[in-house]
Every structure is written in structure tokens, then in C-alpha cells.
Amino acid sequence: MPAQAWVTLIVGVFAVVGVALTVRQRTVADKRAQAWQRITWCLERTTSSDSDEVELGWDMYIPVTDSPLITATERGVLVAVAERSARRALAHPPETEDTDNQNEQEDPR
């Protein structure tokens, strides 16, 4: 095989490898973007005024954030968001009706 054919073959192999790596990198970037869209969707649900939506958002939060595409830094941000939300929920529990106490206050016997 002449030298020119070897050079052409080597350049062709490098070109195919380069294209394959570019396609792989693009695929990973697209998957990461989709993962963040799902995480954003979950977080939007968790801040809803509807308790069913809040529950759905937190139910989906762990599976969505458990993606191998999320980096350690991003995982730290997500943990901080969850911890802050938990602290806020504990500091401001949902108001419940205390019907026994209301009946005692309304009936002044």
C-alpha cells in the first residue's frame, strides 16, 4: 500500500472518531438539559399553593435528581434546595382546624 493511501486512511479514521465524539458529547449535553428541565418542573410543583402538586413535586424530585448526568456540584445545589424547603416547612407547619378548641371558645357556659 502506498504512503498516500496510509495517510488518507489515518486521516479518515481520525475524522470518524472526531465525529463520533462530537455526537456523543452533544447527546450527553441534550440529556443533561432534559434532566434540568425535569428538575425545574419538580421544583415549580413544590412551590405551588396546591398541596397535591407540592406532594407530586417532592415525590418526583428524588428520582429526577438521581441522574448520573448531574455533577457533584449540581447535586450539592439540589440538596441545599431540599434542605431549605424542609426547614421552611418545619418552621411554618400547615394550619389545621382545632374544632374542639373552637367549640369551647364559642360556647361560653
Q: What is the pLDDT of residues 22-80, one digit of tens each?
A: 999 999 889 888 888 888 888 888 888 888 888 888 888 888 888 888 888 888 888 88
Evaluate if residue 106 carries a pLDDT over 60: no
Residue 86 half-sphere exposure, CB side, CA atoms within 13 Å? 7
Check: CB of residue 35 under 8 Å from CB of residue 70.
yes
Domain boundaries defined on the chain: 34-92
Nearest-CA neighbor of 45 among 27, 58, 30?
58
Evaluate if residue 92 carries a pLDDT over 60: yes
Main-chain phi, psi angles of 68, to 5 degrees: -70, -10
Distances 23 to 20, 27, 48, 92 between C-alpha atoms, Å: 5, 6, 38, 48
pLDDT of 109 reads: 52
Distances 36 to 12, 14, 76, 95 between C-alpha atoms, Å: 36, 33, 14, 33
Q: Which amino acid is at 97?
A: E
User: Per-residue confidence at 104, pLDDT binned at 50, 70, 90?
Assistant: low
